[in-house]
A and B are shown apart, each in its own frame.
Chain A
Amino acid sequence: MATVEQRIKAVTARVLNVDADAIRPEHYFTVDLGAESVQSVELVAGFEVEFGIEMDEEGALSVETVGGAVEYITRICKEQGVEVEE
């Protein structure tokens, strides 16, 4: 099973049309990966579908980096009883 980080990178690569292998945890979704406003929302929607979770809009959209998303989604998965590979 792929890790949270790998799954986040795959969704990010698909939504932002970037190479998944080039994505680093320290990358900012906007500045480094080029996410525009609507794409930030599409990313969150994509993560919800990928992990089968519900995220708070304000909390999810305040996450700025790939690494931050890994931490945030891992925590949400635990809270919502969704098993993931860390």
Chain B
Amino acid sequence: MADARRPHPLVDATEPNLLDETFPYDLPPLIRFEGPVVEMIDGRPVEFDLASVKQRPIYITDTTFRDGQQARPPYTLDQMVRIYDLLGRISGPQGVIRQTEFFLYTANDREALDRCRALGHRYPECTGWIRAVKGDFRLVREVGLRETGMLTSSSDYHIFHKLKFKSRRECLDSYCEVVDAALAAGVRPRCHLEDVTRADIDGFVLPFVDRLMEMSRQVPDDLSVKIRLCDTMGFGLSYPGAPLPRSIPKLIYKLNRECGVPSDRLEWHGHNDFHKVHTNAATAWLYGCDFVNTTVFGFGERTGNPPLEGAVFEYIALKGDRAGIDTAAITELARYMESIGLPIPDNYPFVGRAFNTTRAGIHAGGLRQDERIYNIFDTEKLLGCPPRVAITDKSGTDGVALWVNEFFGLKGDQRISKIKVAKLARWVIDQYEKQGRLTTISNAELEAKTRELLPEYWAMYKAGRP
């Protein structure tokens, strides 16, 4: 490797350069690209223009009611309607959350679908999910859906060991029969290439997709087959240079450019078994797949799916625009999911109770001076959650002052200095140093002590208010 060392003289400045073009604060940090990316595919360099994602129509799809429900006891009808309603609000008028899929097998499944559709939201559009069984299309037709997903497992693990086909040919013919049945029923099939990151791409996946594209050419555009790439075990890799079948860039290239599946008929469905789920989904977007399939807060089979709210913020960061998305509804959805028994860890990004809570006094000191120093973006504006401080022995007087000002709702020049909260800070320190306390001090305790130790401020800002 050539010696790349060179001098780096200081660029002195008396005004800060806050890199506003990347960190606008009223939006999540923007994701920008410099020039094309080159990937070696079949020994040849192939260029990808990742920046084009800003102009390309990309979307989020949702499988909270299908994959999400496989990971937990079933939702009640009312719960599903409420979740769907909130998905509609998050999606916004441009339909960034474009579709959500429903089981169709029980009367409850179908009633949930009916009640969600009765809300009248244009987005997310309701689609179905069935086995690759010809008779199941009757269900899809009966409920009046235009599109359904169907399992078309693609790895030999599934073809031979799960589905017990005697050969790939037998498997491919069987899948195509079902696709034919869907097309004949006037239902658009979305073939879920289950376990594709562990499949023989050249030996089975591409020939199967070639055949699907051939079948699609015989039908109107709105019936043409969609392809969902299912990273069933989370084996997918985003790294340049990784080989098939695990390489997401190469998988998408092969289907998109070699088989001719248009980007708007490609969807990525991931799992989080190796902590790669969100980045893998975003990688799929970047390399030419228009749809990424998600669940609210990532709840799904085993380790879960790409989190919908992560995809929402990735979308805004890539587009540089909120696109009508109601991001505050994400917080409302999180609190609702907690209320119906779905645990969200405190440190979970964007919606965990402590996602923008600092415990360190030195961070609290920074927050008091300028919240941008330790807050990822304007979380109050985008999520209805201003940065917070949790009080422990590490919080210091800065942390206590931040808590008090937030509690009284004081901003700017109104804010109380840390000199005025010295008594409260002393009480906090003594809790740990003299009382031997080992737990965080609750808001209720702090509220009571604020009333006792800062009575003049309590009278000024709290008395007579709820």
Contact = CB atoms under 8 A, between A and B. Distances in A.
Binding partners A and B:
yes
Interface of A: 37-38, 41-42, 44-45, 48, 55, 57, 60
Interface of B: 361, 396-397, 417-420, 422-423, 425-426, 429
Contacts of A38: 396-397, 422, 425-426, 429
Contact of B361 (A37, A42, A48): A37
Contacts of B429: 38
Nearest to B416: A57
Given A41-B397, A42-B426, A60 B361 contact: no
A56 to B, nearest CB: 8
B414 to A, nearest CB: 14
B422 A42 contact: yes
A51 B390 CA distance: 33
A38 B423 CA distance: 10
A10 B370 CA distance: 36
Contact of A48 (B396, B419, B423, B425): B419
Contacts of B361: 37
Given A37-B397, A57-B419, 9 more contacts: A37-B361, A38-B429, A41-B419, A41-B425, A42-B422, A42-B425, A42-B426, A44-B422, A45-B420
Contacts, number: 29
21 contacts: A37-B361, A37-B397, A38-B396, A38-B397, A38-B425, A41-B397, A41-B418, A41-B422, A42-B422, A42-B425, A44-B419, A44-B422, A45-B419, A45-B420, A45-B422, A45-B423, A48-B419, A55-B419, A57-B417, A57-B419, A60-B419
A38 B361 CA distance: 11
Nearest to B421: A41
Contacts of B425: 38, 41-42
A-B pairs, top 3 by smallest CB distance, nearest first, are A45-B422, A57-B417, A41-B397
A44 B68 CA distance: 56
